[in-house]
Amino acid sequence: MRGKKYQAASAKLQAGKSYSLAEAVNLVNETSYSTFGGSCELHIRLIGKKPEDRQFRAVVTLPHGTGKSQRVEVLTEEGIEAIARSGQASADLYLATPDLMPKVAKIAKLLGPKGKMPNPKSGTVTANPEERKKELSAGNSAEIRTDAAGIIHLSIGKASWEQEKLLENAATILKAVPRSKIGSLILSATMGPGIKVSLT
């Protein structure tokens, strides 16, 4: 059984209806019942006959950022050794230069499961890590990445933001994901019911 707050929020949605993206963005704010500044979250389910067809990874720069700052660290030989010794990787994201990657392999088993392993596809392996660090720390870049079930979960800003900002961020992400791969699209607040978005 869902809680009373969830049920009250769900009552604002029409059962079985798919909303336009603009309608869904407005409803995210209306149906959010968190006592803190929750996010507007985008959930995209990909389709495909084979598991690899349902996988996707890319990095986009959102016009209005994600509303969240990240702790980003540039790996060095000393930093790699420190992580290997302690078994702790406290940053949200790690960057590395291409020439350092063979040494980063030493901590791959620690960073990989946490989604923190530097990867060229996500823009975290770069010849200019300090410049990339500034971009990522500000929360302007977002990594689009499917989970094991082929679903993308991504914050596109605060639920309380004005509609235009959230729409522009969502549009940027949807342009990056091939339309033929999208099976369903859901918007929701961090604490709120899922709102089905029409794909037509």
* Average pLDDT value over all residues in the chain: 90
Bridge pairing between strands 39-46 and 72-74:
unpaired
Q: Which of 200, 192, 199 is nearest to 26 (CA)?
A: 192
Choose the final residue of a domain: 93, 121, 137. 137
Does 110 fall in a domain?
yes
Total of domains in the chain: 2
Residue 1's pLDDT is 62
CATH of the domain at 130: 3.40.50.790
- The answer to whether the beta carbons of residues 175 and 181 sit under 8 Å apart is no
Averages of pLDDT over runs of 10 residues in the chain (200 residues) are 85 93 92 84 94 88 83 94 94 93 94 88 89 80 87 92 93 93 94 92
Q: How far apart are CA 25 and CA 162, in angstroms?
A: 9
Tell me: do 24 and 123 sit in the same domain.
no
Residues 6 or more apart whose CB falls under 8 angstroms from that of 151 comprise: 43, 44, 45, 46
Tell me: do 94 and 131 sit in the same domain.
yes
Q: How far apart are CA 156 and CA 141, in angstroms?
A: 10
- DSSP 3-state assignment of 22? helix
Domain that holds residue 84: 72-137
